[in-house]
Structure 1
Amino acid sequence: MKTLHFISGGETGGSRKHVITLLSKLPKDSVSLVVLQEGALSKEAEEAGIDVHVFKQSSRYDLSVLNKLIRFIKDNSFDILHTHGPRANLFGTYLKSRLDIIWVTTVHSDPKLDFMKTGVKGKAFTKLNMFALKKMDGYFAVSETFKQNLVSLGIPAAKVQTVYNGIEFTADKAVPLSRESLGVNENDFVMTMVARLHPIKGHEVVFRAIKTLNNPDMKLILVGDGPIKAELEELAAKEGLQDQVTFLGFRQDVDSIYAASDVALLASYSESFPLALLEAANQHVPLITTDVGGVKELVEPGNTGWIVPIKDDKSLATAFASAYEKKESGELKQMGTKLYSFASSHFSLQQLADSTMNYYKKLAAGKN
Structure 2
Amino acid sequence: MKVLHVNAGLENGGGLSHIVNLLTEAKNEGENFELLTLAEGPVAQAARAKGITTHVLGANSRYDLASLRKLTKFINDGNYDIVHTHGARANLFLSLIHKKIKATWCITVHSDPYLDFEGRGILGKIFTKLNLRALRKADCIFAVTNRFAQLLINKAQVDKNKVHVIYNGIFFHSNSEIPAKYEHTYFNIINVARTEKVKGQELLLKAVKKLDDQHIRLYIAGNGSQLEALKALTRQLDMAPQVTFHGFMTHHQLSGLYKRIDLAVLTSYSESFPLVLLEATDNLIPILSTDVGDIHKMIPGPEYGFIAKTGDIDSIAKVIGEAVDKSNKELRQIANNEKRYAEEHFSVRNQLETIQKVYDTLSENV
TM-score band w.r.t. shorter chain: over 0.9
Percent of residue pairs bearing the same amino acid type: 38
> Would you say the 8 A contact 1:174–1:256 is kept in 2?
no
Question: Is 1:332–2:331 an aligned residue pair?
Answer: yes
TM-score, normalized by length of structure 2?
A: 0.94
Structure 1: 4+ residue segments shifted above 4 A = 176-179
Structure 2 residue 341 is matched with structure 1 residue 342: yes
Q: Residue 80 of structure 2 corresponds to which residue in structure 1?
A: 78
The 5-angstrom pairing of residues 208-219 of structure 1 reads 208-219=206-217
- What's the C-alpha RMSD, in Å, of the aligned pairs? 1.6
Unaligned runs of at least 5 residues, structure 2: none
Q: Following TM superposition, by how much is the alpha carbon of 1:57 offset from its aligned partner in structure 2, in angstroms? A: 2.6
Which residue is equivalent to 1:25?
Answer: 25
Deviates more, 1:314-323 or 1:243-252: 243-252
Give the distance between the partners of 1:176 and 1:13, measured in 2 at CA.
25
Contact between 1:255 and 1:280, CA under 8 Å: does it hold in 2? no
Structure 2 counterpart of 1:121: 123
**CA shift at 1:256, angstroms?**
3.7
| Structure-1 separation of matches of 2:180 and 2:203 | 28
**In structure 2, how many angstroms separate the alpha carbons of the residues matched to 1:3 and 1:95?**
17
Residue matched to 1:163: 166
Look up the match of 2:55.
53
For 1:110, give the aligned amino acid.
D
Match of 1:246 in 2: 244
Q: Which stretch of the first structure deviates more once superposed, 67-76 or 225-234?
A: 225-234
2:186 maps to 188
Paired AA for residue 55 in structure 1: L
Assess, with a 3 A threshold, how the Cα gap between structure 1 residues 145 and 344 changes in structure 2: closer, same or farther.
Answer: same
Task: Pick from 29, 33, 36 the counterpart of residue 34 of structure 1.
Answer: 36
Secondary structure of 1:330's partner?
Answer: helix
- Structure 1 residues 286 and 73, CA, compared in 2 at 3 Å: closer, same or farther? same
Partners of 1:259 and 1:116 in 2: CA distance: 35
Shift of 1:29: 5.7
Seen in structure 2, the aligned counterparts of structure 1 residues 112 and 44 have a Cα distance that, compared at 3 Å, is same
| Cα deviation, residue 49, structure 1 | 0.9
Which residue of structure 1 lines up, in the alignment, with residue 179 of structure 2? 175
Letter in 2 for 1:61: Y
**Is the 1:111–1:130 contact (alpha carbons within 8 Å) kept by the matching residues of 2?**
yes
Q: Is the 8 A contact 1:300 1:306 kept in 2?
A: no
Q: Residue 59 of structure 2 aligns to a residue in which SS? A: coil
**Farther off after superposition, 216-225 or 136-145:** 216-225
- Counterpart code for 1:165: N
Report SS of the residue matched to 2:307: strand
Q: Who is 1:221 aligned against?
A: 219
2:320 maps to which residue?
320
Summarize the alignment of residues 267-306 of structure 1 with structure 2, pairs less than 5 Å apart.
267-306=267-306
Out of 119, 130, 133, the position equivalent to 1:131 is 133
1:219/1:301 Cα in 2 relative to 1: closer, same or farther (>3 Å)?
farther
Residue type of the alignment partner of 1:354: E
| Cα shift readout 1:167-198 (whole Å, capped 9, x = no counterpart) | 1111125326868xxxxxx1111111111111
Q: Which moved more, 1:194-203 or 1:52-61?
A: 52-61
CA offset at residue 331 of structure 1?
Answer: 1.3
Query: Shift of the alpha carbon at 1:118?
Result: 1.5
CA distance in 1, matches of 2:170, 2:188: 24
Amino acid paired to 2:165:
T
User: Residues of 2 paired with 1:277 and 1:228: CA distance?
Assistant: 21
Aligned partners of 1:222 and 1:41: how far apart in 2?
Answer: 23
